[in-house]
Each structure stands twice: as structure tokens, then as C-alpha cells.
Structure 1
């Protein structure tokens, strides 16, 4: 495939799909990886992450051929549009990529570019690991108890973006349909109103839940929890929960047991080589993250619930500046940090690049480079625990050394070299 304003590196090889059914990839030792630095602080954290990931690859006998792609502000400068076909096509063709934060206006302007990429490329699972690194200040007493990974559905729920604006002819047509044809009464107030639709399908729910179950099996996790608001939303969120239990019963056999079975048949003692399936109401789950943190390992949930929960979990381990993320599709992945673009700090070489670096760690793990991925985590933890941190953490600890974004990356690279 040819590109208008993107240069394909000639010192790397393409990642290829070798099994259409399973999504298995063939990853060369020198893959071409598209990288989109992003808006705002993306211009700082993107290059910092590249430097660290290059060092981890080199330390394990590999290399990454980076291919710059563009979105948001950088794309407007080059293409006069926010998300050019070049960028989407490159990520689709080369299958594994990483991006920094993108700016999305609130209430007006273009819809989220993050959402657009996920939906266009059918990256249906937004996966957010949450774990504490030694030395990171936390607002809770025992942040080390948090070791959870959230699988958040990426294509439906509020991310479908199906809504009609107050005062338009379209929203009045929807109101009339609901009130006169569907019998919705005493709910829609008179006067201006905005209306949205919340789709939850069996197809999208089950493929997301399978990802969570498969991850739990592959990584020796002890539980998967289905999080929903099914006590109120009985035909959407409760159905998500029910479809989750159907997947367990029909596809996984004795590898999983329900929480009822755990107590009725095993007196609360989990049998060896089994994983417990739980379900929790979303608001209850938010407080249980604090009160029963260690009870939860893998979460499977819908879009909005997953957004709230993963951010709340991120606060317990030190904030979104530490929190990584990655989006999975069928034989495709796009890593990205959870935090936003913080444009007021752009170009100041000041902010914490840890979330972007650890998102790169998730990308390395997806490539099958677990040794390189472990090096990244260990080196970041060594750097922070030694007190060498960026300004956001420095103001919360005593006796530390405040580093610029680039200096922090350089120190992580030094620790990769020491640990390898």
C-alpha cells in the first residue's frame, strides 16, 4: 500500500496475520510499528516512550522500525484534517501501533479521535491494567493490593454516539416515536430534551467477555467479574451479565465456576485450576475497589462503566499519569495511555511519561516479547523507587530528584541496561 505523506521504514518488516480464525500474528524481530505522538503533551511523552521501548527491544536482541503517523493537530498541519486515511490505513496494514493522547472538545466540535480510531479499526476491547509501582505515592493505605485489569467494550454503549440534539426536528421525531408508538410515558419532560440510545448486543458483549476469560486463563488469574447496572437497565446491562454467564457455560466448561458454586459446593475455597466468575452492580463495585481491592482481578464490563472504574482504580495506584492502556481487535492492537493531552504543558519537557511507556510495555507483551515488557516495568519501577521522578511525583515525596520528561526516559534506559 502507498501513502501520501507517510514514509514506510526500509529497515523493518511487516507483522502478518497467520491464522484468520484465531488472529495469531507472525512478528519479526524488527517489526514496523506506527507511532502517533498525539496532541498536547504527546509531543513530549511520545518520543520518551520511543526511547525506552527501543532500549528494551535492543536489550533483548530485537529492534523496532518506527513509522510516524499523524492525527489531531499534527494531521491538521500535514493534511488539513483530523484523522487522515493514511493514518487509519497504516495502523490497519501494520496491525500493531502505539499512540499518545488526543484532544477532544467537550460539547461541540469533532467527536473523539480516540473513539474514531477504535471503531474504524474494530478495536473492540479497551484493556486497562492497574497495578502499583513501588515508590509511587498513593491516596490509599495499601496500593499494592490493586492488581486488576479491566476489559471495557469499545464499540457500543455511549461510544456508539447515537443521540439527537435538543431543539432539532430529529429529536422531536424520536420523542414522538417513544411516547406515541412505544408507550414511554411520564419519563420525557416537556421542553427541550436531548435523547440518546444505548445499544448492547450479544455479539459485541460476548467477544469482549471472551477476551477477558481468555486473558484470565492465560495469566493464571483467579477471578473474572462482570460489572453492570442490571438492577435498573434490565434489557441492556443485565443482558450483558447474562450473556457472560452463557459464554462460561457454553464455551469454557469446568475451567470456570460461578460464585454460587464456589460457596454451595466448595465452601468458599476455590478449587485448584479454576477461575471464579462473579458479577457486581457498578456503583457497588466502585466502593469495593476501595474496601475489597484484592478480591478483584479481571473485570469485564461495558463502555461507560469501564471508563469510570478504570479511572477510579488508577487513582488508587497514583493517578492516570501512571495508568497504561491498549485496544485489542482481531489480530490487531493499538496501545495508548489513559490520560488526556494536557495542552497547557505541551512542549515543556515536564510531564510524567510513565503511562505512555507502560502502554508501550503492553504493546511489547502483545508482540510476544514478554522479556522486553518485563524489563520496561522493572526499569520504570527502579527509577521511581529510587526517587528519580517527574514534577508530579516529586511534589509528593521527600528527598527525590526532579527530572524532566526526557531525563526520566534517559534514566529508565540506563536502568534497562543495568537490569538486562
Structure 2
């Protein structure tokens, strides 16, 4: 298709996908859209491109970048925050990466990030959490963390179904809840805001299916369903129950439940079998710290996933190095976990590791595992050598403080050395 203000590279090829399975067919020179993002996105976006280009070239491939716009950069060009060009280009070219976006007040969107996920049906937010040698951490054994969080991306309280206190709409909902549904002594008197929390069988099962598939393919030991089903019995308990249904009805002897693990195998799972278990969300926050090594893959409703993935990120050094990606059927949008930090925009000082490692997830989704491994190894060696940006430099002794662009150059040089 044609675009209003987007130039499609002439020297790359489009990624396609199987219509039934969503499996990507990736050429050796794919066209990949990129949104640098707001605030520090103008610094970390180009840094990530430089590193990903080097990893692709070192493994005999190339990336043809297609610049897209959202947030501030889109307002400058389109006078809107999320133009059709951007959404349709990601839809057409299937795999993309973006930096952080800030949703301006009164923009018409609750969140530009959430809007992109919904418009493209990127239903699984995936956040691998692992410690890199040399990164300071607030815990004594950060190396125990090697976890992948699968967060449902399209429903729960993030669906945006809510009404403001004092409006006619909220009073209609309140009247229905109290008079029609019988909760006449539940809501306190006076102004109240009301929201609805949808958790569907469809949304749950496709998320859990994705998490189990990943665990099997990656040789992981377990998938844990994280929920608050002891309190929210018809939403989060349903998430748990539907998750177990997927596991037991669709995966045969590839999985066993935790009950079966102890009843039939005395706690010693057969080789190659994934154990499906569940934990209450607040207890899981504790177990992230106290029993870190017992968890491999977590599958969670949207809000739980938001909390848990940030908590896990803190254990390996913070959100400045935490990568992420949003996956749909035959589509990928990689993005770092951190925000746009506008006060540091353009200063060439912030840490681009989170966006670089988000690009690593993108490379894995392309099937370029060798390039992805090269990115991780080069980032880790660079940090281990003490050549880091200011945020890590102030926490270590004897290191060398680098600008954002200098750090990217150092990672690229390490890629060349490793390859």
C-alpha cells in the first residue's frame, strides 16, 4: 500500500506470514519499521539500530529500516499522535521495533502503547528477565532470575471500560449494579468511579497457549498461571481454570499439572515435560524474591503482568535494561519496558540496553538466533568490562562512563570481536 509520509526502502523485502499458522517467512534483507519514540527515544532508537545492524551483518544478513512516527514526531508531521500510516505499515510489514512513547494529556488515547497493541491485536506482552554480568542489582543473587513473563495485552482493567465519578454514565451503571444486579449495599455513598474487568476464555487461552508453546520450544521446566482467583472468582479464577484447560486438553503428555507432579512423580518431573502450576499474585511477588529459581515462564492477566514484570525487572538491575515485545499471530512489535524520560531527551547520556535487548527479542522472532545471541553476549561483555552509561557508572567502581552513542559503538566493536 502507499503511505502519506512514510518512505518504503527500495532495497529490502517484506516479511510475510502463513495465513493459517502465522509463522513468519523472513528474507535475509527484511524491511523492518522502527519508531524511535518520544523523549530519550531519539537517543536509544538510533543506538539500537546501530547494534542490530552490526549483529545482522555479522551473521550474513541486513536490515532495511523504515522510519515510522508516533507521539511527538507524529504530531509534527501529521498533527495527530497515532496516524494510520504507522499502524498500517506495522500491519503490512509485520515485525517492528519502537522506543518509549508519551501519551499527551487530552490526546484521545489512554495510552499510545496500549492503542498500538489493541489496533494490531498484539495480545501477548513478553518480557524476558535475566541478569547480565556486571549490572548492579538490589538483590544478593540476581543470577537466579531467568524468567519470561507472558502478560495478556488486550483485556482486564486495561480494556478501558470505566466511567468517571459525577457523570450521568456512571450513575446509570451504578443504578444497574445496585437495582438490577442486587449489589445495593456494596458501593459507598457519594461520588464513585466504576470500571469493568473483562477476562475472556478466548483471550486467556490464546495467551496461555503462547506461553506453553514457548516453554516447550525453549526447554523450560514450568509455566505458572498468576492470578487473584481467591478473591475475583469469576475473572481471575476463570483465567486459572481456562489456563489449565488449555494445558490438559491440548498438550497431552508434553505437560503435567503440579498436582500430578507430586501425586505421580513424587516431585521429580520427567525429562522434557513442562509442569503447569498456579500462584496467587500477591504471594508470587514474594516468591520472585524468595524462590526465584523455581519459576521459568509466568502467564498472567494484564494488570498482574504489569506488576510482576516490573518487580522482576528490579531484581536484575531495573527497567533501564529490561526488554520486551508484543506478539500477535504473525506480528511482532518489540519495545523496551522503560518510559520516555523527557528531561534527558537529546543529551546522549541514557542507557540504550533495554531497547537493544528488545531488538534481540525481535531477532529471535525472525529466527535469527545466532544474531540474537551475539547481541546479548556483546552487551554483557561491554557491561562486564565496566564500559557503561552514567546510570550504571555511578553504581560501580573503576568503570568508564560512556555517552549513549559511545556505548552503542562499544557494543558494535564487541560484536565484531566476537564474530
The answer to whether TM tops 0.5 is: yes
RMSD in angstroms over aligned alpha carbons?
Answer: 1.0
Paired residues in the alignment total: 419
Task: Mark the CA change 1:347 to 1:207 in structure 2 (over 3 Å): closer, same or farther.
Answer: same
* SS state at 2:320 partner: coil
* SS state at 1:262 partner: helix
Q: Which residue does the alignment assign to 1:322?
A: 321
1:253 aligns with 2:248: no
Q: Which residue does the alignment assign to 1:355?
A: 354
Q: Which residue does the alignment assign to 1:381?
A: 380
Deviation of 1:185 after TM superposition, in Å, equals 2.7
Separation in structure 2 between the aligned mates of residue 232 and residue 108 of structure 1, nearest angstrom: 35
* SS state at 1:416 partner: helix
Separation in structure 2 between the aligned mates of residue 106 and residue 244 of structure 1, nearest angstrom: 37
Q: Which residue does the alignment assign to 1:130?
A: 129
Task: Give unmatched runs, 5+ long, in structure 1.
Answer: none
Separation in structure 2 between the aligned mates of residue 28 and residue 209 of structure 1, nearest angstrom: 29
Q: Which residue does the alignment assign to 1:16?
A: 16
Separation in structure 2 between the aligned mates of residue 110 and residue 346 of structure 1, nearest angstrom: 23
* SS state at 1:97 partner: strand
Separation in structure 2 between the aligned mates of residue 382 and residue 261 of structure 1, nearest angstrom: 42
* SS state at 2:225 partner: strand
Separation in structure 1 between the aligned mates of residue 94 and residue 349 of structure 2, nearest angstrom: 31
- 1:134-186 C-alpha deviation (Å, 9 max, x unpaired): 00000000000000000000000022010001110000000000000000132
Separation in structure 2 between the aligned mates of residue 109 and residue 319 of structure 1, nearest angstrom: 31
Separation in structure 2 between the aligned mates of residue 254 and residue 331 of structure 1, nearest angstrom: 27
Q: Which residue does the alignment assign to 1:80?
A: 79
Task: Give unmatched runs, 5+ long, in structure 2.
Answer: none
Separation in structure 2 between the aligned mates of residue 258 and residue 211 of structure 1, nearest angstrom: 17
* SS state at 1:321 partner: helix
Deviation of 1:110 after TM superposition, in Å, equals 3.3
Q: TM-score, normalised by structure 2?
A: 0.99
Deviation of 1:260 after TM superposition, in Å, equals 0.8
Q: Which residue does the alignment assign to 1:293?
A: 292
Separation in structure 2 between the aligned mates of residue 27 and residue 134 of structure 1, nearest angstrom: 32
Q: Which residue does the alignment assign to 1:143?
A: 142
Q: Which residue does the alignment assign to 2:408?
A: 409
Q: TM-score, normalised by structure 1?
A: 0.99
* SS state at 2:417 partner: helix
* SS state at 2:91 partner: helix
Separation in structure 2 between the aligned mates of residue 385 and residue 107 of structure 1, nearest angstrom: 44
1:25 aligns with 2:24: yes
Separation in structure 2 between the aligned mates of residue 42 and residue 411 of structure 1, nearest angstrom: 19
> Which aligned runs of 4 or more in structure 1 are off by greater than 4 angstroms?
105-109
- 1:26-75 C-alpha deviation (Å, 9 max, x unpaired): 10000000000000000000000000000000000000000000000000
Separation in structure 2 between the aligned mates of residue 215 and residue 279 of structure 1, nearest angstrom: 17
Separation in structure 1 between the aligned mates of residue 186 and residue 396 of structure 2, nearest angstrom: 51
